[in-house]
Structure 1
Amino acid sequence: MLISDEELAVTAARAGAAVVRAMYGASMARFGKSAGDFATAADIEAEKAVIDVIRTARPDDAVTGEESGRTGSDGADRMWLVDPLCGTLNYAARNMLVAVNVALRVGSGITAAASADPFSGEVFWTDGVHAYARRDGDDSDDERLVPSPDSRLVDVNLDPPFPNAPGFLAARLLADPGFVERFRPRVVSTTLAVAWVAAGRRAAYVTDGHLQDSVHFASGIALCQAAGCVVTGIRGQPLHTGAGGLVVAADHETHAALLALIGNMARLH
């Protein structure tokens, strides 16, 4: 029987998560990339596991992996985006806040995606229409993701690059009195936090950067869109246009409040 794209995304993400979990705590070499970024053996082995699952089921699809780059036909309409270990620095420091992200882009849209938490066993996934959480690998207990602003927790990505500086700098947002009065900041340093917005565990997520076809963000963005979050660029513009960036919020009120704070920051510079 042919596995569906969304089930393939879940299966591939879980395969990568199993590697990440098994290698956790081991001393491993770091492979330098750029600007202080690095990969570990766990990144590389997890990516191999993910891609093996995809290649077995969809040999004609193209794949872009964070570590191995693009493989497959240049003209392929179907492209898998693979981030085998989002939160490598966390992981190398023996911090369990990481994710394995797998997303399928067909044409210009993401039609299936999964973000796996290797240590909780949860997989957040979407078929491009609805978003769910699966626990312990049992699809009979899939739970629809429901965003909520109630936590007031807003995760902010502080990692470079910052293409919209000085008009927008995430660190300054955290110090804004209006932000402090309304929200509570969190800095998880993994895009697992984007999935948490879809799941109601974060009120919002904010990052700078150009995220088109990002292996880090494609899955989380798709989850949030399918769950009904408000998803725009950093200035409230359509995603992947203009200034870029990302503001994803559980509801319109939270989204509007964050855009106002970001707009004030820009006017001061």
Structure 2
Amino acid sequence: MIDSLVNPTDAEVAAAAALAGAEVVRARYGRLHSRIDKGSGDFATDADLAAEEAILDVIRAARPGDAVHGEEGGRRGAVGAEREWLVDPLCGTLNYTSGAQLVAVNVALRNGPAAVADPFSGEVFLTDGETAWVRSAAEDGGQRLAPTADTRLVDVNLDPPFPGAPGFRAVDLLAHPGFVDNFRPRVVSTSLALAWVAAGRRAAYVTDGGDLSGSVHYAAGIALCRAAGCVVTGVEGHPVGPGGRGLVVAADARTHELLMSMIGGRPGSD
């Protein structure tokens, strides 16, 4: 795809790279995969590694002077490079190895354009940093993302560890009476859910953690949601970034306020 473009934009590079990784993930689905243990129950597979290499090939060809920070290979490229791409080649590895098709391929230029590809739907969600849209493999243009809380579905990341405990634990949010009255929980265990918030398929997404703004797992989804007009903060209501913690991403201000009142933080937006 990238070879056919003359002077591709960063958003086009992100989309082409994410789709290249998604093609590898889709092609290797259903196989018996070798595993690389990362400790604490986390692991990568040969599919993660191969997808990351496919992504790097696209970025290197289009942006040879940029650095790339991949989840599996770490930081590569020129030491003094001013621009850095954040790559998660297979978000949802446990889902993938169990046969579930709930995974994402995330590619983001730090503080810039980004893309999230769904290997099995064929969709790629992308942003140039100002607007966000989604297109299928058969489309050249795409459709603007329009967040809405109409589904009332909230994805909550329940993966350990729980760094915010005892002050905040996502599992406690699900038992809050206000949550039951207003929302319905979903747990897909992949940052694909962030793209779904931007697209109006989810009302919100909640996860604990540290500063996730530069995370290979979350940077692309955060960029999408911001460009689409979602409310994006940490679990304490502060802007996402240094000193912030976790994510509360909501389709609109009312949904964000409701979730923050249950979490116990202060409503806010970034």
Give the TM-score taking structure 1 as reference length.
0.94
1:229-268 deviations in Å (ceiling 9; x for gaps) = 000111111112434111000000000000000008xxxx
Q: 2:90 aligns with which of 85, 90, 102?
A: 85
Contact 1:164 1:243 survives alignment (8 Å): no
Per-residue Cα deviation, 1:113-169 (whole angstroms, up to 9, x for no partner): 0000000000000000000001124223x1000000000000000112322111000
Residues in 1 aligned to 2:159 and 2:82: alpha-carbon distance in whole angstroms: 31
- Match for residue 268 of structure 2? none
Number of the residue aligned with 1:143: 143
Matched, 1:164 2:164: yes
CA gap of 1:134–1:48, structure 2 versus 1, over 3 A, is: same
Is the partner of 1:33 in helix, strand or coil? strand
Alpha-carbon distance between aligned partners in 1 of 2:137 and 2:87, rounded to the nearest angstrom? 22
Give the match for residue 57 of structure 1: 62
- Are the equivalent residues in 1 in contact too, given 2:213–2:222 (CA < 8 A)? no
Runs of 4+ aligned residues of structure 1 deviating over 3 Å after TM superposition are none
RMSD of aligned alpha carbons: 1.1
CA distance in structure 1 between the aligned counterparts of 2:109 and 2:191, rounded to whole angstroms: 17
Instruction: Assess if the C-alpha contact under 8 Å between 2:231 and 2:249 holds in 1.
Output: yes
Alignment of 1:245-264 (within 5 A): 245-263=246-264
In structure 2, how many angstroms separate the alpha carbons of the residues matched to 1:195 and 1:240? 19
For 1:139, what is the secondary structure of its paired residue?
Answer: coil
Once structures 1 and 2 are overlaid, which stretch shifts more, 248-257 or 173-182?
173-182
Contact in 2 for aligned 1:64/1:82 (Cα 8 Å): yes
Which amino acid in structure 1 is aligned with residue 206 of structure 2?
A: V
**Counterpart contact for 2:68–2:77, Cα < 8 Å:** yes
Alignment of 1:111-260 (within 5 A): 111-140=112-141, 142-210=142-210, 211-260=212-261
The unaligned stretches of length 5 or more in structure 2 are 1-5, 266-270
| TM-score, normalised relative to structure 2 | 0.94
1:76-132: per-residue Cα shift (whole Å, max 9, x none)? 221000000000000000100000000001xxx2x1100000000000000000000
Looking at structure 2, the residues matched to 205 and 253 of structure 1 have their Cα atoms a distance apart, in angstroms, of 14
Aligned ranges 1:42-53 → 2 under 5 Å: 42-53=47-58
Per the alignment, residue 2 of structure 1 pairs with 7
Percent of matched pairs sharing the same residue: 65
Counterpart contact for 1:20–1:85, Cα < 8 Å: yes
> 5+ unaligned residues in a row in structure 1: which ranges?
265-269
In structure 1, C-alpha distance between the alignment counterparts of 2:109 and 2:250, rounded to whole Å: 23
2:165 is matched by which residue type in structure 1?
A
Q: Does 1:15 align with 2:16?
A: no
Q: 2: CA distance between counterparts of 1:100 and 1:212?
A: 17
Q: Is the 8 A contact 1:233 1:241 kept in 2?
A: no
1:35 aligns with 2:40: yes
Tell me, yes or no, if the aligned pair for 1:90 and 1:96 is still in contact at 8 Å.
yes
